[in-house]
Amino acid sequence: MVRQHTPVTLGAPKFSSLEVGPFRVTEAHFSPNSRLQPHVHARNVLAILLDGSFDDVFPNRTLQCVPSTVLIEPAEDRHANRFGCDGARVLVVEPDPAYDELMHPCRNIFNAPSAATNPSAARIGLRLSREVAAPDALTPLAVEG
């Protein structure tokens, strides 16, 4: 069965993306109370919720995401999204599968969907958000770091 892949920006009225080395980095803003029907992504997703809230709904479980949540969505895992009354601002990092050898040391984090709050990761997400909003000559170094 061939699945149609959905970009992480589906349903986001406002977003910015950068391709930096082995990563696609996207900041997406989702509208209050919006819903995304079940879909899959071609790449693994590491998302950091910067503001707002949403539920990531998988067939066997729902992951609740609040600010500072780090969310893992494995590539090809079917899920839906339900955004809260304030919408959501999400920073998404998608590793390029062509760089599998580079990602090998941390690839096990993408074995299953998960969500956990992590204020340190949220601070990194905010710094990445600033790089996406105003890229300059040092952005590739900052993103890869």
pLDDT tens by residue, 18-32 = 998 888 999 999 999
What is the model's pLDDT at position 118?
95
Using 70 as the pLDDT threshold, list the residues of the chain that sit under it. Answer: 1-3, 104
What is the model's pLDDT at position 136?
87
What is the model's pLDDT at position 35?
97
What is the model's pLDDT at position 134?
87
Q: What's the token pair of residue 66? A: 């609040």
What predicted TM-score, i.e. pTM, was given to this entire model? 0.92
What is the model's pLDDT at position 84?
98
CB 139 within 8 A of CB 63: no
Strands (E), the chain: 14-20, 23-30, 35-39, 45-58, 61-65, 69-73, 79-95, 114-117
